[in-house]
Structure 1
Amino acid sequence: MWRVKSLDAILATAQKKSLHRSLGPIQLTLLGVGAIIGTGIFVLTAAASQKAGPGMMFSFIIAGAVCAVAALCYSELAAMAPVSGSAYTYTYAVMGELLAWMVGWALILEYAVAASAVSVGWSGYVLGLIENALHFDWPDLLQAGPTWSMNGFMPSPDFSAGIINVPAIIVALAVTALLMIGTTESARVNAILVAIKVAALTAFVVLTLPLIKSGNFSPFAPNGWFGPEGSSGMGIVGAAASIFFAYVGFDAVSTAAEETKNPQRNVPIGLIGSLAICTVFYLLVAAGAVGAIGAQPVLGPDGAAVQPGSPGFTAACAMAQNASQLVCSNEALAHVLREINFPAVGNALGIAAMLALPSVILMMIYGQTRIFFVMARDGLLPESFAKVHPKWKTPYIVTAFTGIAVAIAGALFPVGQLADISNSGTLFAFFMVSLAVMILRVKEPGRHRPFRTPLVWIIAPISAAGCAFLFWNLPHDAKMVLPIWGGIGLVIYLLYGYRKSHLGRGRVEVHEQDADLPPPPATT
C-alpha cells in the first residue's frame, strides 16, 4: 500500500491518453476566477460576520495567505506533472498509494460538499429575489433544511426553521442533468459568467465604499481571535477557517493541466493570478459590507456567542430586532444594497448570483467526477463505476450518483456547515501537497522543475502548518467528519482498491474509456 507510481509513468500515461490542449494563461486565469468567486464571497460573508464581526477583514487576509503559500506548492507540482487528478496524483507520485487514496477520498468530499454549499447559496439569492422583486412569499418550511446539533455522537435535527431546501435540490439536479447529457459550457460562456460576477462585485464595491462609517468597525473583534471559551470555530481565526472555502476553487486550475498549452508556464500563472485577483475583490467587498451597515454578531437567547446555522443562531435571527442584521441574511451582498437604499441594484446582484453560481456547481461536480475517473483508471475504484455513456460520452453513472448526493446534502444542511465540512477535506489535501513538494525535493532533486516554489523550505512548511492550523480551528462537528469519512474510505481501499490496483498488479496503463471524453465543462 506504500507503492509509488513514478512521475515518469504518470507523465507517460498522460501523454498517451491526454485530452486536447487548448487553454492559455488568460483562459486558465478566468477558469480559476470563475471557480473561486462563488458562494464564498456572495454568502459566507454573513457566516464570517457572525463568527468574527468586522474582524473578518483579518480572516480574509489569513485565509488568503494560507491559500497563497499552498498555491505556490501546487504550482511546482502542477508544472512538473501536468495531469488530471490534482493532489491525488501528486501524492501517488511521492508518498504512495494509501495516502494517495486518502487524499483522493478527501477531494471527493471537498468537491461534492462544496457543490452542495453553492447550491444552498444559490437558493438564498433566488429566494431573496423572488420575495423582494416578485413579492411572492415562498413557504418557510421549503426554503431551508433543519438546523443540526450534536446529541452525544449522533446529529440531532431541529425542524423549526425549515424541513427541506427545495431550490437547492432543483439547481443541483438541473446541473447534474446537463453534465450527464454532455451539455458543456464554452470558454466564451465561462468568460461571460465570470464577467457577470466581477461586474456585480464591482458595483457592490462602488456603491458601498463611499458610505463606510468608521463606527461600524467597532468593536472590531467582538469574539476575539479564537472565540469565547468552549465555542470551537468562532473568532477571527475560526472565521478564517470557514472563509478558506471562498478561495479553494483555485485547485480546479490544476485539474485542467491536461487541457493546458505549455502547462509548465501557464498553470502557475493561472493559479497565482486568479488567487491575487480574487483576494483584492474579497477585501474590498468585506470592507464595503462592514462599513455600510455593520457586521456585529447576534447573541443566543442566553446571551452567549452562537455558531451560524445552529438552533441558537436561528432563534436569535427570528427576533424582530435582528431581522435586518447582515449576519442573519441568506443573500448577504444583496441584503446590504437593499439596506442602503439600492433595492434595484440589490435585485440585479441577486440575478447575477442566480446566473453565475450554477457554473460553480457544474465545475465542482465535474471536478469530483474527474477525481473518480482518475482513481478508477488506476484501478482503485471499479472501472464499471466510471462507465461512459455510449451516446452522451459522459460518465453518467458516477455523475448521477454525485448529483443525487449533492442534492440531498443541499436540501438538509445550512451553507455554513457544508462549507466547513468541505474545508476539512480541502485542508487535508493541501497539507499533503505541501509535504509532497518537500519530499520530492529530497527524493528527486535533479528533476526538471519548470516552476520552483520560492524559498521552498520556508513556504512549504508554512503552508502545511497553516492548513493544520485552520483545520484545528474549524467547528468540532466539521473536524469530526474527515476522520469518519476517511475511515469509510480506508475500509473500501482495503477491501477493493488494495487488491485491484493497476500498479499493484503490474499495470501502469489506463483503460481506454476516457480517451474521448470532452474537456472540462468550463474550459472547452
Structure 2
Amino acid sequence: MKFARVKPLDAILATAKKKSLHPTLGWFQLTLFGIGCVIGTGIFVLTSAGAQKAGPGLMLAFAIAGLICIVAALCYAEIAAMIPVAGSAYTYTYSVMGELLAWTVGWALVLEYAVAASAVAVGWSGYFTGTILNEFFGISLPTYLTAGPLWLGGAPGGFVNLPAIVIALLVTWLLMIGTNESAKVNAVLVAIKVTALTAFIVLTVPKTEMANFNPFLPAGVFGGFGSGIGAVGAAATIFFAYVGFDAVSTAAEETKNPQRNVPIGLIGSLGFCTVFYILVAAGAVGTIGGQPILGPNSIPFPAGSEELARQCALPQYADMLVCSNEALAHVLREIGFGAVGNMLGIAAFVALPSVILILLFGQTRIFFVMARDGLLPEGLSKIHPKWKTPYVVTAITGGIVAFAAAFLPVGQLADIANAGTLYAFMMVAIAVMMLRKTDPDRERLFRTPMLWLVGPATIAGCIFLFLNLPFEAMIVLPAWGAIGLVIYYLYGYKASHLGKGIVEVVDDEPGIMPH
C-alpha cells in the first residue's frame, strides 16, 4: 500500500534519538494530562447540537464516541512512541505509506485544525454574548452581529458572528507575536473547566426527572447513513468533544514503564471523560428535557440548519436545550441556579480561547512541516525576524478561521472538522499494522495490545462514524482532498525535497509549541 516516495524511517528516528527525553511520567500524571487535553470545547458547546440529533440518546452517543476513541488512542500510542517527532499522523504516514498518502493526511489535518478552531470561536461567542454581555452588563447585541445568515444555518436576521471573528483574530495575533502558553496557566484553566462541569453535575443530576428521558431515542440509534441524526449521528458530531487525547500518546517517550502506564493513562483519561460527559448529558436532559424539535415524518430538523433556526426563533421553543448557544449555563439558569450558570459561562469564556490557541498551534505545525518537506511553498514557513514565529502561515490560517467562524454554526463546523480527524486516525491505525509486518524488529516503547483486533476496530469505527456524519460534512473531505491533490501534482510533487533526494530531518520549529 505504499504510494510513490517513502521518507526513510531511520532518518526520522535519528533526529528523535538526538532529543531523547528523560522518562518521568507515571500513569496518574498521564491520566490527568489526558483529562486536561480532552475536556474542553465539545462538552461546553456541542451539547445542544447533540441533543437535537439524538435527544436523551445523547448519553449513548458519548459512550459510542468514547469507545472508538479508546481503540484509536491505543494505535496512536504505539506509533507516537516509535516516531516521537513533529508532524503527527502526517509524519507517520510519510514514513510508512509514502508521500502521496502523507500529503492527503496532512491536508486533512489542516482542515481539521482550522475548522475546529472556527468551531471553538463560535462556541466562545455564544458564552460571551449570552453570559458576559447579556447577564452581567444587560447588553444584547443585534442578531445580525452574533450569528451567520439564516441560509447557512445561522439565525433569522443573522449576518455575521462578530465576537467569533474578534476572538479568532486576537488569538492569531498573539500567535504571530510569539506569545507562548504557560503550563501553569493551562493547568489553572483545566482546573476551572473540571470544577465548572463538576458543579454542573452536582446541581443537575439530583434534579433529573425520568419523564424527560422518554422517548430515549426519538430518532433511533441509526438515523441512516449521511443523515447525521440518531445516537450514532450524534456520536459522529460529539466525537469532537474527545479530540486532544492523542497528546497523551505523544508523551510515551517521557513515560516510565510505557507498556503499562500509557494504556492506563489513555484508557483512564478517556474512560473518566466518557463517564463525566454522560453525567453532564444526563443532568442537562434530565432537568429541562432534551427532546429534539421534530420536522415532517417525526424526523429531527438537522442541527445547524435553516429550518431549525426558524423553529428556535419561535417563542415556544426559545428556551429548549437544543436552541441554546450556551447550553450548560442555560440549563442552570432554567432550574434556578442563575449565579452558578453565569459562573460556568465565565469558565467557558475564560478557558475556550486557550483551546483556539492550541488548535492554531497544531495547524501551523502541520503546515510548517509540510512546507519544510517542500510539499508547500517555503515562503509559507517563513520566520518573522523579530517575533521568531511562522507569521505568514499563521496569518493565513487565522484569516480562514475567522471567515468560517463568521458565517457557519458550531455544529456544522464540528462535523467538518471530525471528517478530517477520522481520516487521519484511520490512516494511523493502518500505518501501525503495516509497520508490524514490514518492520517487526523495530524498537517499540509501547506495543498496542491485541492489534489484530484493535487496529481493524479503529478503522471500522472511524469509517462508521464518518458515514454517520451529515452528507454535507462527508462531501467536504473528498472535495477538500481533490483540491489538495491538484496542488500536490501542480507543485508539491515537483518541489518535494524527498523527490530531489534530500532526506535530512530537522525538528526545530521556532515559535511553535509542541502538539
Note whether the superposition's TM-score is higher than 0.5: yes
CA pair 415-54 structure 1, distance change in 2 beyond 3 A = same
Partner of 1:470: 465
Q: CA deviation at 1:10?
A: 0.8
| Alignment deviations for residues 327-353 of structure 1 (CA, whole Å, 9 cap, x no partner) | 000001001100110000000000000
Amino acid across the alignment from 1:520 = M
Equivalent AA in structure 1 for residue 348 of structure 2: A
- Where 1:452 maps in the other structure, the secondary structure is coil
Equivalent in 172, 177, 180 of residue 181 of structure 1: 177
Aligned residue for 2:4?
2
1:153 aligns with none
Structure 1 residues 47 and 118: alpha-carbon distance in aligned structure 2, compared to 1, 3 A threshold? same
1:191 aligns with 2:187: yes
Structure 1 equivalent of residue 73 of structure 2? 71
CA distance in 2, matches of 1:335, 1:136: 17
1:520 alignment partner in structure 2: 513
1:329 to 320, 324, 331: 324
**Does 1:381 find its partner at 2:383?**
no
Distance 1:418 1:66, change over 3 A: same
Q: Which whole-Å deviations, capped at 9, do the CAs of 1:477-498 have from their partners, x for residues lacking one?
A: 0000000100011111111111
Could you list the per-position Cα deviations for residues 245-302 of structure 1 after superposition, in whole angstroms to 9, with x for gaps in the alignment? Answer: 11112234456778x5779577666544432332222111111111111100012488
Alignment of 1:328-407 (within 5 A): 328-407=323-402
Aligned partners of 1:165 and 1:410 also within 8 Å: yes
How far apart are residue 147 of structure 1 and its match? 3.8
Distance 1:504 1:368, change over 3 A: same
Query: Are 1:241 and 2:236 an aligned pair?
Result: yes
Match of 1:443 among 422, 438, 442: 438
Structure 2 residue 116 is matched with structure 1 residue 137: no
TM-score of the superposition, structure 1-length normalised? 0.92
State whether structure 2 residue 202 is matched by structure 1 residue 212: no
Partner of 2:160: 164
Partner of 1:57: 59
**Partner SS, residue 100 of structure 1:** helix
Cα deviation code 1:433-460 (max 9, x no counterpart): 1111111111111212111111100011
> CA, structure 1 residues 15+231, in 2 after alignment: closer, same or farther (shift >3 Å)?
closer
Farther-moved stretch of structure 1 (340-349 vs 85-94): 85-94
Cα deviations by residue, 1:86-125 (Å, 9 ceiling, x for unpaired): 1111111111110011001000000000000000000001
SS in 1 for 2:245: helix
Structure 1: which amino acid aligns with 2:129?
L
Work out whether residues 84 and 254 of structure 1, in 8 Å CA contact, stay in contact via their aligned partners in 2: no
**Could you say what secondary structure the match of 1:451 adopts?**
coil
Structure 1 residue aligned with 2:91, among 77, 89, 92?
89
Give yes or no for contact 1:84–1:256 (8 Å, CA) kept in 2.
Answer: no
CA distance in 2 between partners of 1:93 and 1:35 (Å): 27
The residue number in structure 2 matching 1:152 is none
> CA offset at residue 43 of structure 1?
1.1
| Structure 2 Cα separation of the partners of residues 488 and 33 of structure 1 | 36
The residue identity in structure 1 corresponding to 2:52 is Q
* AA in 2 matched with 1:224: G
How far the C-alpha of 1:372 sits from its partner, in A, is 0.9
Alpha carbons 1:84, 1:374 under 8 Å: kept: yes
Question: Partner of 2:113 in structure 1?
Answer: 111
Q: 1:21, CA displacement in angstroms?
A: 7.6
Unpaired segments ≥5 residues, structure 2: none
For the structure 1 residues 268 and 368, does the alpha-carbon distance in structure 2 shift closer, same or farther, using more than 3 Å as the test? farther
Aligned-residue CA RMSD (Å): 2.4
Query: What is aligned with 1:313?
Result: 308
**Structure 1 unaligned regions, length at least 5:** 150-156
Structure 1: which amino acid aligns with 2:219? N
Separation (CA, whole Å) in 2 of partners of 1:263 and 1:169? 45
Residue 178 of structure 1, CA deviation: 0.8
Output one character per residue of 1:146-197: Cα deviation in whole Å (capped at 9) or x when no partner.
2446xxxxxxx77734100001011111111111111111111110000000
Moved more, 363-372 or 27-36: 27-36
Cα-to-partner distance string for 1:28-53 (whole Å, 9 max, x where unaligned): 65554343222210011100100000
The answer on 1:35 being equivalent to 2:28 is no
1:340-397: CA deviations, max 9, x gaps? 1000000000000000000100000000001111112222112221011122111111
Contact 1:106 1:428 survives alignment (8 Å): yes
Contact 2:113 2:363 in 1 (8 A): yes
Q: 1:38 to 1:47 in 2, by over 3 A?
A: same
1:499-510 correspondence to structure 2 within 5 Å: 499-510=494-505
CA contact (8 A) 1:299 1:313 kept: no
Contact 2:37 2:244 in 1 (8 A): yes
Q: How far is 1:303 from its partner?
A: 5.9
Give aligned pairs, total: 510
Which is further off, 280-289 or 420-429?
280-289
Distance between the aligned counterparts of 2:358 and 2:257, measured in 1? 20
The equivalent of 2:405 in structure 1 is: 410
The residue identity in structure 1 corresponding to 2:377 is: P
Letter in 2 for 1:281: F
Structure 1 residue identity aligned to 2:96: V
Q: Compared with structure 1, are the counterparts of its residues 402 and 223 closer, same or farther at alpha carbon in structure 2 (3 Å cutoff)?
A: same
Q: Structure 1 residues 181, 108: CA separation in 2 closer, same or farther (over 3 Å shift)?
A: same
Alpha-carbon distance in structure 2 between the residues aligned to 1:312 and 1:193: 36
Following the alignment from structure 1 to structure 2, what is the Cα–Cα distance between the partners of residues 158 and 348?
26
How far residue 318 of structure 1 moved from its aligned partner, in angstroms, is 1.2
